[in-house]
Amino acid sequence: MATTLSLREGTARQYDYWWTVYKRTWKASIVSSFLSPVFYVLAMGVLLGGFIAGDPDQLEGATSYLAFVVPGLVAAHAMQTAVGETTYPVMGAIKWHKSYFAQLATPLDPAHLVAGHLMFVLFRLATTCGVFMIVLAPFGVFESWWGPFLAFASQVLVGMVFAALVFGWSARLKNEAGFGVLFRLGIFPLFLFSGAFFPVANLGEAGAWVARLTPLWHGVNLSRMFCVDAVDWPVAAINTAVLVALLVVGWFWSVSGLTKRLVF
């Protein structure tokens, strides 16, 4: 009879490892996690936004450009945090310091390693997005008391989608040159054109539809609808369904990718 280690138990056994990693790195992550987003809010939302008329018809229901840009910025920041945690760290654990190989010599399987890593990303997303949202509260950009909580959940969700998809990509990459392609042709255009900084309708009809096909837009849209309290529930359901589907696809893509690299 086969003896397997449950996903929950195998993931829990890595808690001490990831907690130690976090204690070692949290100071270094403060700038990228907390300071950079605040700079973005000040520069884009407050200073640049001061020149933009607060027309709810033009700004997807937001009464100011600050209120418009902030939910998109947090969602885009979730994407960047997730990508940062699943590119070089994954390649390093396979190729450079080989910690995945050391872990695989224990009862853990590749699926446990993926789950442990993704749970750490979840923790990173929850803390960075959570702190970001708390810092934003005094700016008066939230239109309801419950909206920010759902916006927070959608930011974390879209971050996890990117974590899972990019983990699978990183697990398959033979060298780090592929990350340059990912950052320049994937993450950076998504950051700019997925509706974080301007309504995707401004891209023209065709451009808007391309933008709406990107995973980030679904997260940006959810985050914004909940923050500005202009929720189109059928659209929100579609956004959520797309993200959950991509998360499931990303999970299997990551587990199969890591299995190929470690078990041969």
Partner 1 sequence: MGTVGGSCLGSTLVSDAMIQAVGLRKSFGDFEAVKGIDVEVRKGEAFGFLGPNGAGKSSTMRMIAAVSPASAGELRILGLDPATDGPAIRGRLGVCPQEDTLDNELNVFDNLYIYGRYFGIDKATVRQRAEELLDFVQLTEKRKSRVEDLSGGMKRRLTIARSLINDPEVLLLDEPTTGLDPQARHVLWDQLFRLKQAGVTLVITTHYMDEAEQLCDRLVVMDKGLIVAEGSPRQLIEQYSTREVAELRFGVGEHEALGEKLADLGNRVEVLPDRLLVYSDDGERVIAQTHERGLQPVAVLVRRSTLEDVFLRLTGRTLAD
Name the residue nearer to partner 1 (CB basis): 111 or 222: 111
**Other Cβ atoms within 10 Å of 29 Cβ, number:** 16
> By the criterion CB under 8 A, which residues form the site for partner 1?
1-5, 9, 13-17, 20, 24, 97-99, 101-109, 262-264
Closest CB to partner 1 among 13 and 172?
Answer: 13
User: Of 28 and 177, which has the nearer Cβ to partner 1?
Assistant: 28
Shortest gap between Cβ of 19 and partner 1 (angstroms)? 9
**Distance between CA atoms of residues 212 and 229, nearest Å:** 20
CB 250 within 8 A of CB 167: yes
Rounded to a whole number of angstroms, the minimum distance from the CB of residue 167 to partner 1 is 20
Q: Which CB, 11 or 155, lies closer to partner 1?
A: 11
**Shortest Å distance, C-beta 146 to partner 1:** 39
Least distance to partner 1 from the beta carbon of 57, Å?
Answer: 53
